[in-house]
Amino acid sequence: MPDDVKPAAPAETTLKITGLDHVVLRVASLDRAIAFYGDVLGCPVERELQQPRLVQLRAGSAMIDLVPCREGEAPGMSSDGRNMDHFAVRIAAMDPPALTAHLARHGVAAGPVQRRYGAEGYGSSIYITDPDGNTVELKGPPETT
């Protein structure tokens, strides 16, 4: 980092990020992508779904999820010009009323709370959109049994 650039001070917030949970990429060929991330980078397939089509590979404590491009999308690019579907950050706690109120104070609309699978298993999450149109999943702690 250049000397004249100072890192941003952490904002006071009810939201505490603990790490990256997963990244979801749209790919032209699942087989080619699995070979690259699996054989080249050493990320083993952890979970595979047929509907919706999804392959999840373990990348240390996080996941790389692969989904095929939709019909009519260019290889690796979604219809809106991106090949990243969304990324998920792990948050320390899932308190939907506090979280949605915090987001609303910052002018960010929160999607519904839903149960989704992530790097630590199933848990609650909320989708939001950043100022550049990227979808960000706020992934709460895993379910306890």
Q: In the prediction, which pLDDT does 78 show?
A: 57
Report which of 118, 108, 27 is spatially closest to residue 75, judged by C-alpha positions. 27
Q: Is the pLDDT of residue 132 over 70?
A: no
Q: In the prediction, which pLDDT does 25 show?
A: 87
Domains and CATH numbers, the chain: 17-142 (3.10.180.10)
CA distance 66 to 10: 32
User: Across residues 86-109, what is the average pLDDT?
Assistant: 91
* Tens digits of residue pLDDT in 26-62: 888 899 889 989 988 889 999 999 998 999 999 999 9
Mean pLDDT across the chain, nearest whole number?
Answer: 85
139 burial level (CB within 10 Å; 0-12, 13-18, 19+): buried
40 strand-pairing partners = none
Specify the 3-state DSSP secondary structure of 1. coil
